[in-house]
């Protein structure tokens, strides 16, 4: 998955820190809520240590990391970070092999061999999974005369498994009141290449919509036409009347696709920074202590009013301890900037800036790296 940078996803990037709520944990299932003010300006950055960091992994966060590097260099002149968007698998593998200072991944380290290898790389100390970048996934479509569409997870699952085949199917009509829906075949477009977007989309359908086709990075719906990469599926939908796909928010906007509202049981919700932030607000942490592994089911299965539940999260995988002193200092400085001032440009690239309470959890973990 790759999120493309473009000029005006929200229009007012400077307001991004005010758009979002707070994030809960297993011990606080309802989230903390209420406080939406960024604390970016109040967090000191201790520059120093290694002048050039190396990281590798998820292509989903590449544009976010580019923004973080710019903010890091502004805060700490003379430093740099080289990021190779080689994919989550390579990021984990090369972090565990000690070839990069931290890894980027669309999913947390798997218990067992991956976690054990990471601990060995970190001098017998645990590695932490720190979710730093969140990106919404749009259900994008193009249907002449249909500028507004509401779908729920069950109906979306039926569309992408071929059970619902027509745009005027009763299941779609039931969600869209008096809207005029055409007697037109639905053209499903899916990612033909392995994709974290596909994996998260299918997991969402499984949790919220009763999807029985399975998950994973290959699409398993058994219907439609495959296209490579996010650009490929978005461009295909933009050229086919009656088409639908799942794709990162920025690609849907860049290709002028209509975006379905999602009804999780409390009314239709439009994809916005606010609604995506509210989904993060309801997320739970299933990792222990500063290992901030998300319980994605708590996002995908949320029925909270005003919450848009279809999100991706990417993690930075770091050593809790075990770095040399110069590397530890630089990693902490970079991540501190990334979690604070580095968030200011994310909305312009189709990401969701961190809610303040989640930002606080992340900064606590970063400060504890030794």
Give the integer Cα–Cα distance in Å for 174 and 171. 5
Band of pLDDT at residue 364, cut at 50, 70 and 90: very high
What DSSP state is assigned to residue 353? Answer: P
CB 337 within 8 A of CB 287: no
CATH no., domain 138-273: 3.40.190.10
Confidence of residue 319 (pLDDT cuts 50, 70, 90): very high
Q: Which helix (H) or strand (E) holds 206?
A: helix 196-209
Domain regions of the chain by residue span: 13-135+283-368, 138-273
Is a pLDDT exceeding 50 seen at residue 37? no
Query: For residue 158, which of 106, 197, 108, 212 has the smallest C-alpha distance?
Result: 212
Is the separation of the CB atoms in 57 and 91 below 8 Å?
yes
Summarize pLDDT for 41-87 with one digit per residue, the tens.
568 999 999 999 999 999 889 989 999 999 999 999 999 999 999 88
Q: pLDDT digit string (tens) for 170-196? A: 999 999 998 999 999 999 999 998 888
Which residue in this structure is represented by tokens 């650009």?
231
| Phi, psi torsion values for 108, nearest 5 degrees | -70, 160
Average pLDDT over residues 274-295: 91
Which residues fall within 8 angstroms of residue 270, CB to CB, at 6 or more apart? 259, 261, 308
Tell me whether residue 39 is exposed, middle or buried, using C-beta atoms within 10 angstroms of its C-beta: 0 to 12, 13 to 18, 19 or more: middle
pLDDT in tens, 128-155: 999 999 999 999 999 999 999 999 999 9
pLDDT digits (tens, 9 = 90+) for 6-15: 333 333 233 3
Q: Which pLDDT score is estimated for 258?
A: 98
Residues with Cβ within 8 Å of 217's Cβ and at least 6 positions away in sequence, in order, are 194, 195, 196, 198, 199
Give the pLDDT confidence score for residue 42 in this predicted structure. 62
Which one of 3.40.109.10, 3.30.200.20, 3.40.50.2000, 3.40.190.10 gives the CATH number of domain 13-135+283-368? 3.40.190.10
Picking from 231, 204, 201, the residue whose alpha carbon sits closest to that of residue 219 is 201
pLDDT, the chain, mean: 88
User: Fold identical between 13-135+283-368 and 138-273?
Assistant: yes
């Amino acid at each position: 998955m790759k999120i493309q940078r473009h000029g005006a996803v929200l229009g007012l990037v400077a307001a991004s820190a005010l758009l979002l709520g707070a994030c809960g944990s297993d011990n606080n299932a309802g989230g903390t809520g209420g406080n939406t003010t960024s604390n970016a300006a109040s967090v000191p950055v201790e520059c120093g240590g290694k002048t050039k960091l190396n990281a590798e992994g998820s292509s989903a966060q590449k544009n976010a990391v580019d923004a973080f590097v710019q903010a890091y260099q502004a805060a700490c002149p003379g430093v740099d970070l080289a990021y190779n968007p080689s994919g989550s698998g390579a990021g984990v593998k090369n972090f565990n092999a000690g070839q990069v200072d931290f890894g980027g991944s669309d999913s947390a380290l798997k218990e067992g061999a991956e976690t054990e290898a990471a601990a060995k790389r970190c001098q017998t100390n645990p590695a932490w999974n720190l979710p730093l970048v969140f990106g919404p996934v749009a259900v994008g479509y193009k249907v002449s005369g249909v500028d507004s569409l509401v779908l729920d997870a069950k109906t979306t699952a039926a569309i992408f498994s071929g059970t619902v085949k027509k745009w005027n199917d009763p299941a779609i009509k039931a969600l869209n009141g008096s809207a005029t829906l055409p007697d037109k075949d639905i053209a499903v477009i899916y990612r033909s290449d392995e994709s974290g977007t596909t994996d998260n989309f299918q997991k969402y359908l499984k949790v919220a919509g009763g999807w029985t086709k399975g998950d994973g990075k290959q699409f398993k719906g058994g219907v439609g036409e495959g296209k490579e990469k996010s650009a490929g599926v978005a461009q295909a939908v933009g050229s086919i009347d009656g088409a639908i796909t799942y794709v990162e928010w920025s690609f849907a906007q860049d290709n002028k696709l209509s975006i379905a509202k999602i009804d999780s049981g409390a009314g239709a919700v439009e994809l916005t920074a606010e609604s995506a932030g509210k989904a993060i607000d309801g997320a739970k942490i299933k990792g222990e202590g500063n290992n901030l592994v998300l319980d994605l089911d708590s996002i995908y299965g949320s029925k909270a009013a005003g919450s848009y539940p279809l999100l991706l999260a990417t993690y930075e995988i770091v050593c809790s301890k075990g770095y040399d002193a110069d590397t530890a200092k630089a990693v902490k400085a970079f991540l501190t900037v990334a979690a604070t001032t580095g968030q200011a440009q994310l909305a312009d690239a189709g990401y969701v800036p961190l809610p303040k309470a989640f930002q606080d959890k992340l900064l606590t973990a970063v400060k504890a790296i030794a």
